[in-house]
Structure 1
Amino acid sequence: MLKGVFISLSQNQLLTTAAKKYGLKLGAQTVVAGTTVEETINSIRKLNALGISATVDNLGEYSIEREEALEAKASILEVIESIHTNGVDAHISLKPTQLGLDIDYDFCYENLLEIVAAASKYNMHINIDMEDYDHLQPSFDLMDDLLKEYDNVGTVIQAYFDRAQDDLEKYKDLRMRIVKGAYKEPIEYAFQTKEDIDENFIKLIEYHLLHGKFTSIATHDHRIIDQVKKFVKENNIPNDKFEFQMLYGFRKDMQVDLAKQGYNFCTYVPFGDDWYAYFMRRLAERPQNLNLVVKQVFNKRTNTAIGVLAGALALKTLVNKKKK
């Protein structure tokens, strides 16, 4: 039930618009590394000082105007240059819909190609984030086309899709991030229960650790992390074959601890003001994440679902007051 609530909140345009305006007043800086490139680079420096790398996401998606997609491309290109100029340890994650996939495939491809080419000059990885099922195959198609010219590209496998194993085997020679999945998908092509998703998640991780090029294991679940640590030890998998990933602002102590233990660790670093939908989907992906940061984001005395709903109501209140 909570997953449906969070997905619904993420799709509420009124709340998304209000969050862009009032985000800092609600404490959005706890889950977003900055609203500018300069702020984001400073946040990455702090992570690097702790032995943690970063993958940077320019927040936003589902562009419906070419100008909007071109602005997103320009922002990502600026981040690439800034990462290089400042010498920080980071790469890029991006969403095809932000770059125009819903406008025109070729237009989106040209935007992606420019970004991948710019990153390639600095030997920088580009990760194509996966979105909902309707965009799944087109995103793989984009990656296939990009791989004809560049090799600094990877993507995401979402464990709740029943096709995930086939996709992982097809792309086992690429750097891959494996996640559970953050959208609400129909039973026709997605596992529905936590148990089934977790089981497939572990299966995919272990397969790619054994057969893949490099595995990014994206989870905040300490039980799965412990299981992976045991698996790599039993199978003599070197640390340079994988990394753990978590989101900026989530389980910060565990992120530092894993880095101190000698594991490669990468923090997913979002920046910009379009944070609300992103955060709601992170809670939909794993409602337990609610207890990790909600008390920092909405209300220091709140660490339950009421906090998120209160945050939504707070946004509505701010909007209503502005209208008056």
Structure 2
Amino acid sequence: MMWFNKLVAAMLPLMPKNLVWIFSKRYIAGTKLSQAVSISQKLNSDGYMVTIDLLGEFIEDLSEATKNKDEYLSIIDTIQKNGVEGNYSLKPTMFGLLLDKEVAYENIREIVKKAVGYNNFVRIDMEDSSCVDMEIEIFRKLKKEFPNHVGLVMQAYMRRSMSDFKAMMDMHSEKAPLNFRLCKGIYVEPASIAYKDYEEINEHYLEDLEFLLKNGIYVGIATHDTPLIEGAYKLLEKYKVPKDKYEFQMLYGVTPALRKSIIEKGHRLRVYVPFGKDWFAYSTRRLKENPKMAAEIMKALFVRG
């Protein structure tokens, strides 16, 4: 069935948006900021923190970078005025990383500075392997200037991740600890640089998590995988990690029952809330990166009852 999944994923951009939306709307908090605010407030009332992400990535013109930066600045003002308990996530390629690294850095710096004005926090997403070194470099520069207001995403399936963690320990201190979101990783990468086997990825995820927790690094434990969550519970107990030194993280619309069970156990959890007019490109790109999801598309479009 893999060939069929790949075929469906390749054809998805040609499908009418209203059909693709049937699948996508469960995982995207709307196209407008007002919708993201409403959903975030509901999540807050249910006991969850949020991180807001304006959809968009891999732009082709620097004029888009400026527009995206200005929109993020406005988003921060609106989120803060509405009293949402949450922070912000962004993808550097949305601000021109692959076009002009310095322009991207200045755009992101302005966004972080805006968030700092509200005593808030910005998470820099990790993208595909072509971006890793540049995104670590940007993180280093921003953490030096804003030591407690910026974090980075790291991907456990990348073979280099443990060495990257160790290389960044020079930025870690008790007063300004490193802050990472640890996820498995979604981008399709060659086996030479990324683990492929499910069990192998999980093994390295828990190895990475143990390294972070035992070194007092703040971790966003980002997973919907029950074995990893159970493994995280054991590590949190092993190292007696205070509840304010970590959080679980999950995507909006994914495994809500599991999400609820985590906070019922007394752990904090943050929900990733993506929104924006670029939801279609986001959805189709993710499906191309993960053709197995094509089966879910077909089910969402054609199965009823």
Range of TM-score over shorter length: 0.7 to 0.9
Structure 1 gaps of 5+ residues are 303-324
Partner of 2:201: 197
Partner of 1:208: 212
Structure 2 unaligned residues grouped into runs of 5+: 173-177
The sequence identity of aligned pairs, in percent, is 35
One-letter identity of the residue aligned with 2:112: V
1:46 Cα offset (Å) = 0.5
| Aligned twin of 2:85 | 89
Tell me the equivalent position of 1:298: 301
Which residue of 252, 256, 265 corresponds with 1:252? 256
Alignment of 1:1-324 (within 5 A): 9=9, 15-16=12-13, 21-22=17-18, 25-151=21-147, 152-172=149-169, 173=172, 174-279=178-283, 297-301=300-304
> Which one is further off, 183-192 or 104-113?
183-192
* Distance in 2, Cα, partners of 1:75 & 1:278: 18
Q: Does the 8 Å contact 1:6/1:281 carry over to 2?
A: no
Cα pair distance change 1:196/1:2, threshold 3 Å: farther
Show CA shifts across 1:247-275 (max 9, x none): 00001122122122211100111001323
My pick for the range that moved more, 209-218 or 164-173, is: 164-173
CA–CA separation in structure 1 for the residues paired with 2:14 and 2:75 = 24
- Hey, what's the Cα distance between the residues in 2 that align with 1:233 and 1:7? 45
| Alpha-carbon separation, structure 1, partners of 2:70 and 2:123 | 17
Letter in 1 for 2:181: R
Change (3 A) 1:27 1:157: closer
Using the TM superposition, name which of 150-159 and 22-31 deviates more: 22-31
Residue identity in the other structure for 1:219:
T
Q: Assess if the C-alpha contact under 8 Å between 1:56 and 1:270 holds in 2.
A: yes
Q: Contact 2:248/2:268 (CA < 8 Å) preserved in 1?
A: yes
Letter in 1 for 2:253: G
Partner AA of 1:155 in structure 2: L
How far 1:4 sits from its partner (Å)?
A: 11
Secondary structure of 2:145's aligned partner? coil
Assess if the C-alpha contact under 8 Å between 2:8 and 2:294 holds in 1: no
Q: 1:166 to 1:74 in 2, by over 3 A?
A: same
Structure 1 length-normalised TM: 0.82
Structure 1 contact 28–297 (Cα < 8 Å) conserved = no
Q: How many Å separate the matches in 1 of 2:275 and 2:137?
A: 27
Q: Normalising by structure 2, what TM-score?
A: 0.87
Q: CA deviation at 1:85?
A: 0.6
Per-residue deviation at 1:167? 1.4
Between 1:252-261 and 1:110-119, the stretch displaced more is: 252-261
What is the one-letter code of the residue matched to 2:301?
F
Offset at 1:231? Answer: 2.2
Contact 1:3 1:285 in 2 (8 A): no
